[in-house]
Amino acid sequence: MATRDSLIQVTDLKKHYNMGVIKALDGVTTNIYKGDVVVVIGPSGSGKSTFLRSLNLLEEPTGGSIIFDGVDITKKKYRDASGKTVKLNVDQLRQKMGMVFQHFNLFPHMTILDNMILAPMKVKGISRAAAEEKALNLLDRVGLKDRAGAYPIQLSGGQKQRVAIVRALAMEPEVMLFDEPTSALDPEMVGEVLDVMKELAKEGMTMVCVTHEMGFAREVGNRVLFMDQGKLLEEGSPEDIFERPKNPRLQDFLAKVL
């Protein structure tokens, strides 16, 4: 277990639509520590994706707070160490959070290599040569170095998702967010993507994964959150959640998926 430094503190997070008629998130409170592998499970429509997307502000919360690196990122402005009011730089924040999507979202008009070097070059301003070297190293790690010149359309789903993961890693994020990374894959390709994620977890990367892969949750996760109807109903170690579920809805959910 890594140190228990809190990386992301989520307090009473709310996302309401239509004046609160729809509550996608209804008061979620949790802590994500450095080195954590947090797995979020729950039935569809339970708000787990909304929760994940709120963490890097792809969804703007309507209430509550998210403290990341000591800054409440749900506010447009914050006071820095010297007491000055500073505008929150969302782009800078997002660099520190890699995100992997269900539908890969590779850029189809660029080669794999260009997909990987775009953000490091344009956002971090590192040179093309350095970015390419780094990208090729990362691609090598997931066994796709020889496909660097290919276009996304020429890759299988599993390969695309592996590229999407290393594309996010190229920005050297502090935390990786996975939004159902294996849900759009053919069954035989799920394994290769999960292997990359396991590898990452082993290296100590902080990860938050929304997934339906209960095997992965059990094996790799060190904390499991169960959400339903916008609420965080139960959280605990994989053993607690899977062997000794307390909440009746969690018991019901596990009975259906296991």
Partner 1 sequence: MDSFIKLSNFSKILPYAQLFRQGMFVTVLLSLFTVVIGFCLALILALMRLSNFRPLRFLGIDKNGYQRETGVLAAISKFNPLNFLATAYVEILRSTPVLVQIFIIYYGVFGMIDLPGIQLFGFIKFDRFFPGVVALGMNSGAYLCEIIRSGVQSIDGGQTEAARSLGLSQVQNLRYIILPQALKNILPAIANEFVVIIKESAITYTIGVQDIMSAVNAVKGATFVIIEPLLVATAIYFCLCFPTSKLIAYFERRMSRGDKR
What is the number of helices (H) and of strands (E) in the chain?
9, 12
Nearest distance, CB of residue 115 and partner 1, angstroms: 9
> Apex CA 155: angle with CA 109 and CA 194, to 5°?
120
The two three-digit tokens of residue 100, written as one number = 């992997």
CB 76 within 8 A of CB 64: no
- Torsion-angle region of 172 (φ positive above 0: left; ψ -120 to 50: alpha; else: beta): left
In eight-state DSSP terms, residue 61 is -
Binding mask 176-215 for partner 1 (x = CB under 8 A): ----------------------------------------
Selected from 1, 44, 76, 146, the binder of partner 1 by CB under 8 A is 76
- Does residue 23 belong to the site contacting partner 1 (CB under 8 A)? no
Q: How many residues bind partner 1 (CB under 8 A)?
A: 36
Half-sphere exposure of 110 (CA within 13 A, CB side): 13
Stretch that binds partner 1, among 14-22, 34-42, 193-201, 235-243 (CB under 8 A): 14-22
**Coil, strand or helix at 27:** strand
Q: How many residues does the chain have?
A: 258
Stretch that binds partner 1, among 89-97, 134-142, 197-205, 206-214 (CB under 8 A): 89-97
Range 149-168, binding partner 1 (CB under 8 A): 153, 164, 167-168
- Does residue 103 belong to the site contacting partner 1 (CB under 8 A)? yes
Residues at the contact surface with partner 1, assessed by CB under 8 A: 16, 19-20, 56, 58, 60, 62-63, 74-77, 91-92, 94-95, 97-99, 101, 103, 105-109, 118-119, 122-124, 153, 164, 167-168, 171
